[in-house]
Structure 1
């Protein structure tokens, strides 16, 4: 009798656990980034995070404004800032540039995307605090996996929430990298400190594919949106997802040379499911929203089915 009661109790606990896990997924919603420099989509129903400004630095501050021919009703503007900018330009100048660049938009929330480093942390965090004070809007910032694992060193930005960019986690320029877009084995090396990380998180996952061109094992170019069948008779597959150019030719509008090597990288549905499940297990302090990168690949998978696990 005692054994039966124990078995029933274990079964009950398993049932509760499965119910909770299913509820987590049932409540999930998804949205999209739009990262092109122009936007002209009409009748968009999806929730969007649209990049409206690129801020970079060479010898001076460089600002590229996206051309929004159409403006969705309730999109969230995103500003991309290079780390070099924060190394060379005082936060106040960057803040003023952003506020000026946002003048023509009506918004209640702003997101900043910058992969800050130890040398730029102070300047970047001051920028975020300045924007939050002057705009008085909901402010979010993108977060990388290493910035959670080592958060006591990298710091935590003073924003309303973070967006964990669960992709681009490997060195894209390393010839030996398998897939720089999404590698769950690499990701697992950073599965630390989620229980201590103070920022509430949303999750960003990739949908895109790309190929990296190498010459003498040195990375030269990135071609986004390439599919496996784009490697025609001018290529030979020398190992999994590595293609060698047989004769100098044009590829995706660019001239490539004989013996160049191309590494094909794709986002697989099963890998996305693993990443999502890992995140749900890791992070209790989170929103039930997944942001996919990007809108133009929204039909690549059945995303409703993917996030609900049905």
Structure 2
């Protein structure tokens, strides 16, 4: 009898594991210089990662003539032959809001620049991703851009999707892409209050039920980054990235006043930034339990399983904030 129970339990676990085997772990890489640290390489190997979404460049408006132009083109400091590379292009929404923007020309120049980068680095890609938080006012230009780019590239095309674009898709429309990636972060406003702008379950719950009605297949992007919001006299001065929390706790110039806030005890410079006495630093981070919670909520509200969970973003500073098996834990929720 005991043997039968053991065999039965083993079979259930085996089925559960195999059920999740088709959901893959991927990462965004958002630095201009592509060169992995040893810890980053270990993470890729430990999680059997074969696909990387690499930001190739942004598209903004030139300050002199207000014409679209590429910003911060990627540089490959090492070859990535063992990975499938997906070029990601981030287009600032103000480009799509420009009344007289030549969409066809923009699509052509974007396509050729991706090809130039691939050619110089001997990269062959089968997919391109367009990242743009388009709005009702910019949707016509954005949707036209997607159509033009798709005709040119003849590759699989994916697009990033925000929560509001899922809930109100009949108004915001759905781009003509092969799949979307739901960016499950940056949910709130960057503000001096106590709320976490990166992730709020309360905010996400307003949108999650809409996933079952969304007709485009979605993969999910989850956050592993953190930042500090620099506040002075209840006004936000800016975001301070890569502030080591343990170092901050040891720094006599700062006093931790609760789980979220640090207060500046005396004016000082830290990492090239001036902090005035009584300034506040509001720490916004994502815990392991937050990630698991996100995954479970997304799984419960999705009609289809995702093909991939993409973590934003691959950086040693981010990785060191989590236990080694966190990515496996999160993916196993689907």
Short-chain TM bin: 0.7 to 0.9
Is contact 1:209-1:227 (8 Å) kept? no
Using the size of structure 2 for normalisation, the TM-score is 0.81
- In the alignment, structure 1 residue 61 sits paired with structure 2 residue 76: no
Residue in structure 1 matched with residue 165 of structure 2 by the alignment: 147
1:249 aligned partner: 268
The offset of 1:146, in angstroms, is: 1.1
Q: Give the structure 1 partner of residue 148 of structure 2.
A: 130
Q: Deviations over 1:182-239 (max 9, x none)?
A: 2222211112321221110000001111101112222111112223223222112233
| CA deviation after TM superposition for structure 1 residue 259, in Å | 1.6
SS at match of 2:212: coil
> Is 1:96 the equivalent of 2:125?
no
Aligned to 1:292: 311
Contact 2:292 2:329 in 1 (8 A): no
Report whether the alignment pairs 1:30 with 2:48.
Answer: no
Shift of 1:27: 3.5
Structure 1 residue 29: Cα displacement: 1.7
Aligned partners of 1:191, 1:305: CA distance in 2, in Å? 21
**64-73 or 247-256: bigger deviation:** 64-73
**Equivalences for residues 208-247 of structure 1 within 5 A:** 208-231=225-248, 232-247=251-266
Superposed displacement of residue 23, structure 1: 5.6
TM-score (norm 1): 0.87
SS at match of 2:257: strand
Q: Which consecutive unaligned segments of at least 5 residues does structure 1 have?
A: 1-16
Q: Is 1:75–2:81 an aligned residue pair?
A: no
CA shift at 1:62, angstroms? 2.9
Q: Cα RMSD over matched residues? A: 2.3
Q: In structure 2, how many angstroms separate the alpha carbons of the residues matched to 1:153 and 1:22?
A: 39
Aligned residues: 293
The corresponding residue for 1:87 is: 97
Take 1:253 and 1:25, find their aligned partners in 2: how far apart are those partners? 45
Deviation at 1:115, TM superposition (A): 0.5
1:177: how far off? Answer: 4.8
1:119, 1:230 → 2: CA distance?
44
> Which among 31, 56, 67 is matched to residue 52 of structure 1?
56
Corresponding residue of 2:7: none
Unaligned stretches of 5+ in structure 2? 1-11, 119-123
1:69 Cα deviation after fit: 2.1
Contact 1:170–1:177 under 8 Å retained in 2: no
Maintained 8 Å contact 1:199/1:285: no
